[in-house]
Chain A
Amino acid sequence: MNSCRIAIRLLVWSGLVMGVAGHGARAAESSSKPILSAEATEALARAESGVALAIAKKALWTTAASALAQAQEAAKQQDNAAVMKYAAVATEQASLGMAQVDGPLTSQH
């Protein structure tokens, strides 16, 4: 009977120890992940806003849409440099698309 109690106590304690250790390991793991920089976050927000405007104006380029998708994917990977690079392309091309549809028509008459 006593040996049974001891075995149960051992199981409970080992579970607690493993739980605490596991939590600690996870906490260490998450704190070691880089966080998206404020600059990259801002660039991504600017790109998303620019692309949304271009969509509303029916002036979005496929290349701007795919650059934004790449920036968003890079944000998931916490890759600041890639977010900045692709967000800048998306922002610039969204703006060019909108300017384009306000531009002169070709060879109309």
Chain B
Amino acid sequence: MKQTTWMLTCLGMLAFSADALSLSPEQERLNRVQAVQQKYPDIKFEDYVYGALAFSPDAKAQYENMMAFPPFESEIDKGRQLWETPFNNGKRYADCFPGGGRNVAGNYPYYDEAMKKVVTFEMALNQCRANNGEAPYKQADMNTMGLLTAYARTLSDGMLMNIKVKGSGALAAFESGRRFFYQRRGQLNFSCASCHVDHVGEILRTEYLSMLPGQATHWPAFRGGDYALFTLQRRYSACNQLVRAVPMEIGGEEYNNLEYFHSYLSNGLPLKSSVFRK
């Protein structure tokens, strides 16, 4: 009897620890949202899309003034030109997406079972080019892919993020992204979570640290005094360099999986495109 009780206890403990190690994507998202809500109950869930600005009414007011007449409008126009210019075969980007490309960006990234990998919005735009006989853009090139994405995502402004993780391949990609997010990197020994989970809302140097939910909703962003265009993966690269880690390839598997995990954690929040960030 004692032996049976002991075995059952062990099995129970094993089941508990296995469960703790493999939280479902939705449980992970809820945990992260609840953690922010407990720490900052005055910040509304829908305001998580403002990231660090949500912690500072002054900074948010400045942002709203700037967004009344966005100083980067001419850059968006360049992206619109890229989007609207027909390919050599006469077709356009709008022909590659349902609804002419309206309200689609919130579905990206998704896991493609046939290709067995995560497909980002940038990859879908390049796939559209390839299907129409055009050479793909380099994903790290802000003057082509960056501007094109900046405009294309404005067509989904306000769409709720709707990332799906279904099937073992999708779950493995999500787990890979999750591991990247929580893995320490670089000489400073920080993980993404060190700042955006453990110290969310606190000030590092002069800046508030934004919350994980909502972070994937507002890219590309025009950053700083010269309104340099940053896609989400360019931001990952910059973050990695800040902690003194050699960044991964923009558009490579590691960042694509990270974006998949990261974007799922923003589910239910509206896309904001395009925006200014400090």
Contact = CB atoms under 8 A, between A and B. Distances in A.
B183 interface: yes
Interface residues of A, number: 18
Interface string B2-41: 0000000000000000001001000010010000000000
A40 B123 CA distance: 46
A76 interface: no
Interface in A36-53: none
B246 interface: yes
A101 B185 contact: yes
11 contacts: A58-B248, A61-B186, A61-B187, A65-B246, A100-B189, A105-B182, A105-B183, A105-B191, A107-B198, A108-B182, A109-B23
Given A61-B186, A103-B183, 14 more contacts: A58-B248, A58-B254, A61-B187, A63-B187, A93-B187, A97-B245, A100-B185, A105-B191, A106-B182, A107-B191, A107-B194, A107-B198, A108-B182, A109-B28
B154 to A, nearest CB: 33
B20 A60 contact: no
Nearest to B252: A58
Contacts of A103: 183-184
Interface string B160-199: 0000000000000000001100111111010101100110
Interface string B189-222: 1010110011000000000000000000000000
Contact of A62 (B183, B198, B244): B244
Interface in B232-270: 241, 244-246, 248, 254
Q: Which of A59, A62, A65, A93 has the most CB of B within 10 A?
A: A62
B182 A61 contact: no
Assign chain B's interface to a size class.
Answer: 20 to 34
Given A62-B241, A101-B185, A106 B246 contact: no
Interface of B: 20, 23, 28, 31, 178-179, 182-187, 189, 191, 193-194, 197-198, 241, 244-246, 248, 254
| Interface pairs A-B: 4 shortest CB-CB | A105-B182, A60-B246, A106-B191, A62-B244
Contacts of B28: 109
B246 A61 contact: yes
A93 B244 CA distance: 11
Contacts of A63: 187, 244
Given A62-B187, A100-B185, A106 B31 contact: no
Given A107-B193, A109-B31, A100 B182 contact: no
A62 B246 contact: yes
A100 B191 CA distance: 11
Contacts of B189: 100
B244 A106 contact: no
Nearest to A60: B246
Contacts of A105: 179, 182-183, 191, 193
